[in-house]
Structure 1
Amino acid sequence: MEFKNATILKKANVYFDGKVVSYTVKCEDGTTKTLGVMQAGDYTFNTGAAEVMEFLSGELSVELPNQKEPLVIQGEAMFEVPANSSFTLHVKTVATYCCAYAN
C-alpha cells in the first residue's frame, strides 16, 4: 500500500488508553484515511461516516451491524461499516489496519 502526494498529520489518534493508535493521512484526491495499530483487547467504535476497514495483519473477530456471525480475520481482510453505526473488534494478536472514510 502506498499513498502518493499525501499529508500525514503528526499528532496521533490515541484510543483505549493507548491500546489503539492511528495517524491521519490526507490524500491528494481529498480522501482521508487512518493507519493504525491495535493491541490485543476488545474495542467498540462508533461511526459517523461510512468506513472501509482493511486489516493488514493480526488475528481478530469483528461484530458488524446486521450480521449474526462475527467476521473472523487471520492476516489480511477488508470489510465495510455503514455510517451512524457501531462495530466491535475482539483482537487476539497485534493488528495493523488502514481505515478509509466516505466523503
Structure 2
Amino acid sequence: MSEFANITIVKKANVYFDGGVSSRTLRFPDGSVKTLGFMLPGEYTFSTQDPELMEIIDGELEVLLPESEQWLKVQGGESFNVAGNAKFTMKVIKPSDYCCSFLK
C-alpha cells in the first residue's frame, strides 16, 4: 500500500539519536498506530513495548533481532518483525525510509 486514507497525523516529530532517526505518528480510525520515518546512516538501538512490523520502504540496513547472533540484511521492499518488550539494533547503511506498525 503506497498511501493511507482517513488518518490523523500527529504534527510533532519523534526525533531520536540527535536527528539520525525521525518519524511522524499516524492514528487510524480503528485505533491502530503506525509511524512513518527516515533514518540516516548510523547504528541505533531501539526498545519496543508492543510487537512491531518494520517495513523498509527504501534504503539498506542490517538488523540484530532479540535472541539472535546473526545480523539480517534488509533493503527497500523487505520487512521484519520485532517482539514486544524487546531491544533490537539497526546498522543503517544507506538512508532508509520506513513504516513501523505497532501490533497488539
TM-score by length of 1: 0.95
Give 1:51's aligned residue: 52
C-alpha separation in 2, matches of 1:26 and 1:47 = 18
Give 2:32's aligned residue: 31
Quote the offset at 1:82 in angstroms. 0.3
Aligned-pair identity in percent equals 49
- Given the alignment of the two structures, is residue 69 of structure 1 paired with residue 70 of structure 2, yes or no? yes
C-alpha separation in 1, matches of 2:3 and 2:96 = 18
TM-score by length of 2: 0.94
How many residues end up aligned between the 2 structures? Answer: 103
- Given the alignment of the two structures, is residue 4 of structure 1 paired with residue 16 of structure 2, yes or no? no
C-alpha separation in 1, matches of 2:16 and 2:62 = 19
Quote the offset at 1:91 in angstroms. 0.4
Gaps (5+ residues) in structure 1? none
C-alpha deviations, 1:26-64, integer Å up to 9, x for none? Answer: 011210000000000000000011111000011110000
C-alpha separation in 2, matches of 1:56 and 1:62 = 15
Quote the offset at 1:74 in angstroms. 2.5
For 1:63, the aligned partner's letter is: L
- Which secondary structure state, in structure 1, belongs to the residue aligned with residue 94 of structure 2? coil
Gaps (5+ residues) in structure 2? none
C-alpha separation in 2, matches of 1:70 and 1:32 = 27
C-alpha separation in 2, matches of 1:51 and 1:37 = 16
For 2:69, the aligned partner's letter is: K
For 2:3, the aligned partner's letter is: E
After superposition, where does 1:8-27 map in structure 2 within 5 Å? 8-27=9-28
- Which secondary structure state, in structure 2, belongs to the residue aligned with residue 37 of structure 1? strand
Give 1:41's aligned residue: 42
- Which secondary structure state, in structure 2, belongs to the residue aligned with residue 78 of structure 1? strand
RMSD between aligned residues: 0.9
Structure 1 runs of 4+ aligned residues shifted over 3 Å read none
- Given the alignment of the two structures, is residue 81 of structure 1 paired with residue 82 of structure 2, yes or no? yes
